[in-house]
Amino acid sequence: MKRLTSFQTPSSVPRESRHSSRKKDERLTCLLTPLPKGKQLSLALVHYLAQEIPDVRFTLDPRENANAVWVCGYGGSAASYLGRLRELHPDATIVVTGRAPAASWASSVIEAGADFAYSWPVDYRLLGRILRQRHVPPQPVVPDLAPDLERIPHW
């Protein structure tokens, strides 16, 4: 199974891999990392998002078992932070947003462990769908060690 990058659409992943096993009535929990500008702004954003995306429960508490993590406002600087975040939330979908064009920093955050990278602002309906995508861990690449029988000389 392939890991999603910012340049792949969720439709390129098989449907059964994209959706979690949560019940329909169970709300998704999304950890919102504190914004670079401070906790008060983060609290205001959590309250605002509760109205904009009511079927997702946003939290600032990193101890909660989050299905998704939104690293909001960091852009490319999130790369150094993502390794630890992935360790704390190994199965969560991690989304990074930033004001700079994503093309300039997306590859660094994807390589560091994020599932998606977008420039801000992001449409809230799109964000809600992205947060529901299931994290697909990278699969190790195993070289094909079987000999190519057609290339072996036949004596």
Instruction: Classify residue 136 by burial, with Cβ atoms within 10 Å: 0-12, 13-18, 19+.
Output: middle
Give me the CATH topology for the region 27-131. Answer: Rossmann fold (3.40.50)
Residue 10 pLDDT exceeds 70: no
pTM, to two decimals: 0.71
The pLDDT of residue 137 is 79
Domain parsing of the chain, residue ranges: 27-131
Distance CA 112, CA 82 (A): 6
Q: What is the pLDDT of residues 60-103, one digit of tens each?
A: 998 899 999 999 877 778 888 898 898 889 999 999 998 899 99
The DSSP string of 90-142 is TTSEEEEEESS-GGGTHHHHHHTT-SEEEESP--HHHHHHHHTSPP-PPPPP-
Q: What is the pLDDT of residues 61-71, one digit of tens each?
A: 988 999 999 99
